[in-house]
Amino acid sequence: MKKPLISNVIFWGLQYALFLWLSMPASAQEKKDSIRTNVPPHAFVSNHTGVFGGKTIAYTATAREIHLKNDKGEPVASIWSVAYTQDGQKDASKRPVTFVFNGGPGSASIWLHMGMLGPQIVKTDSDARKDDGAAPYKLVDNKQSLLDMTDLVFIDPVGTGYSEAIGKGKGEEFWGLKEDAASIAKFMRVWITDNKRWMSSKYIIGESFGTTRAVAVANTLEGGGQNMALNGLILISQALDYAGSTSINDNITSFLTYLPSMAATAWYHKKAGQGQALEAFIEACRQFTYDVYAPALYKGNLLDATAKNNIAEKLAYFTGLDKDYILQSNLMILMPRFQKQLLADKGLSIGRLDGRFMGDENDDITQAPHLGDPASYQIESAFTAALNHYYADVLKVKMDKPYLTSNDEIGEKWRWRTVPDGKYWEPWPVNVARQLGETMRRNTAMKVLVASGYYDLICPFFDAEYTFARHGIVPERVEKTYYEAGHMMYLHEADLIKLAGDLRKFLSE
């Protein structure tokens, strides 16, 4: 007779437990949303003086969160930025402001902040011969920073740095080509409005995917009922048309655009072009690519054996690779294989972001580097430590969460779709170059600087030339500059100085 009683107790106990289980997450989520949206955005303000471009500048550093709101006025994202603004400006309209971000997708602005443009930067081996090792690292005053020319605002997109979705916002709502551009454009308008800078000259500096973002943001700023015309875009290691920066089988464009970078890198490692000046060797490779290699690739198996052998000999001449290996590759060398093959006789692989870097791997017969990119893992610890130290010690930033220099989840969930859901769409290589051409024609004051590294094996310099020769881009308002380094050419001391000089000239024109 006791069994039914026990069963009823268990039954009603389970029902009550289920009720609690169902109600608690909602309550917890509401509490989480409330805490994240009701607490005022963090802000850390400090005053400094430094010498930049030979001028002593007093400036204010403002490291803060700005909450972006949806159409209902609800906070959905918290964007972290660090702004450096010159003190004592009576007429802000005469002081330009430049917004800065890196790429990924999924990268914070740490690289341009701590490597090129910030008031202090971390120093790694300029010649790419030594790993960054372990702490302590060298943080130095950056005389090349552009604070003598412009205020600087470093932006971390949602999911990077300290930036995150809040309230009812979700990270995925910001992780897409169009969604990302919309959030950055909204941030820029909020910042400009808060700081009363609508009459200031406005620039964007983007690196890598940050150049894709820069063009998309410039295009987005033309709409939304608040048209904000930019004075210029500075594109470091541009990636506007991904057909030229995606080394995969059957992508003929990529074999053409990567070849001159292979030649430059082979020259650097003394595997090709010895006795010739770098620029002359590159120019010869350009002409071969346009006049001989391109027609050959489009002919494919229609090439006869003699022609194929002749092409292989020239490719061996420019790349430093074995002719038989090139013939086995059907005249098409994928970039990861080039990284592994160029210094195979030394048991070394070369970097992708920067072909000057070399890694000693424990498996010498893989088709691609398997330890990662030495141009990344040989500097990343120094940058991460330097930024965290700089935030805490110099800017007095104190946050209750880690600063994410990168976030792989963003790339894994990134939405490249350029049309709304429900509308027919087929995947295609990412290409914002035509957007740039259209924006330049609507905004006749906007000019563009394209900075490329000869040893960049991910965003090749010849791809920049190929891209900017088409897509309706206005060539008269485009300036291209070149550096004897890689993707982050500012890691090379001489090119840090050269790039800073080129940017100052661009901003003063």
Q: How many residues does the chain have?
A: 509
CA distance 152 to 145: 9
Three-state secondary structure call for residue 347: coil
d(CA 459, CA 455): 9
Q: Is the pLDDT of residue 376 over 90?
A: yes
pLDDT of residue 420: 85
Measured distance CA(52)–CA(501) in Å, rounded: 12
The structure's pTM equals 0.91
Q: What is the CA radius of gyration of the chain?
A: 26
Over 359-406, what HEC string results?
Answer: EECCCCCCCCCCCCCHHHHCCHHHHHHHHHHHHHHCCCCCCCCCCECE
> Greater confidence, 218 or 426?
218
pLDDT, one tens digit per residue, over 406-456 is 999 999 999 998 888 889 988 888 999 999 999 999 999 999 999 999 999
Q: What pLDDT score was predicted for residue 19?
A: 42
> Looking at beta carbons, which pairs linking 286-290 to residues 24 or more positions away fall under 8 Å?
286/260, 286/462, 286/465, 288/259, 288/314, 288/318, 289/256, 289/259, 289/260, 289/462
Range 225-247 average pLDDT: 96
pLDDT of residue 40: 86
CB 42 within 8 A of CB 64: yes
CA distances from 31 to 23, 37, 41, 166 (A): 12, 10, 17, 12
Q: 3 is written with which tokens?
A: 């069994």
Whether the predicted pLDDT of 99 surpasses 50: yes
More confident residue, 194 or 422: 194
Compute φ and ψ for 456, nearest 5 degrees: -80, 115
The pLDDT-based confidence of 86 (bands split at 50, 70, 90) is very high
Scan for tokens 């930024």, then name that residue. 387
Residue range 327-339: mean pLDDT, rounded? 97
Residue 466 in this model has a pLDDT that exceeds 90: yes
Say which CATH topology domain 43-242+380-508 has: Rossmann fold (3.40.50)
Please give the angle made by the CA atoms of 254, 258 and 262, to the nearest 5 degrees.
150
Cα separation, 237 vs 487, whole angstroms? 6
Q: How far apart are alpha carbons 71 and 194 in whole angstroms?
A: 19
Residue 133's pLDDT is what?
Answer: 93
β-pair type (447-453, 478-483): parallel
Model pLDDT, residue 37: 59
pLDDT at 191 over 80: yes
Q: Which of 195-204, 324-333, 369-378 has the lowest mean pLDDT?
A: 369-378
Q: How far apart are CA 416 and CA 421, in angstroms?
A: 12
The string of DSSP letters for 425-488 reads ------B-HHHHHHHHHH-TT-EEEEEEETT-SSS-HHHHHHHHTSTT--GGGEEEEEESS-TT
- Residue limits of CATH 3.40.50.1820 in the chain: 43-242+380-508
Measured in degrees and rounded to the nearest 5, phi and psi for residue 66 equal -120, 125
Q: What is the DSSP letter of 108?
A: -
pLDDT tens per residue, range 48-57:
999 999 999 9
Q: Give the angle 479-480-483 at the CA atoms, nearest 5°.
A: 140
Taking alpha carbons only, the member of 256, 183, 254, 240 closest to residue 437 is 240
Check if the beta carbon of residue 220 is closer than 8 Å to that of residue 432: no
Q: Using 50, 70 and 90 to split pLDDT, how confident is the model at 3?
A: very low
How far from 437 is each of 217, 368, 444, CA to CA, in Å?
14, 36, 11
User: From the CB of residue 361, how many other CB atoms can be counted at a distance below 10 Å?
Assistant: 17
Please state, in angstroms and rounded to a whole number, the distance separating the CA atoms of residues 446 and 438: 11
395 touches 63 (CB < 8 A): yes
Q: Give the distance, in angstroms, between the CA of residue 492 and the centroid of all CA atoms in the same chain.
A: 18
Question: How many percent of the chain have pLDDT more than 90?
Answer: 85
For residue 481, the model assigns a pLDDT of 98
* Chain centre to alpha carbon of residue 58: 29
Helix (H), strand (E), coil (C) string for 179-221: HHHHHHHHHHHHHHHHCCCCCCCEEEEEECHHHHHHHHHHHHC
pLDDT confidence tier of residue 39, bands split at 50, 70 and 90: confident
Q: What angle do CA 105, 461, 147 make, to 5 degrees?
A: 65
**Is the CB of residue 266 less than 8 Å from the CB of residue 273?**
yes
What is the predicted pLDDT for the residue at 35?
42
pLDDT of residue 362: 87
Q: Which two tokens stand for residue 375?
A: 């141009």
* pLDDT score of 29 more than 70: no
Residue 159 · residue 407 · CB < 8 Å: yes
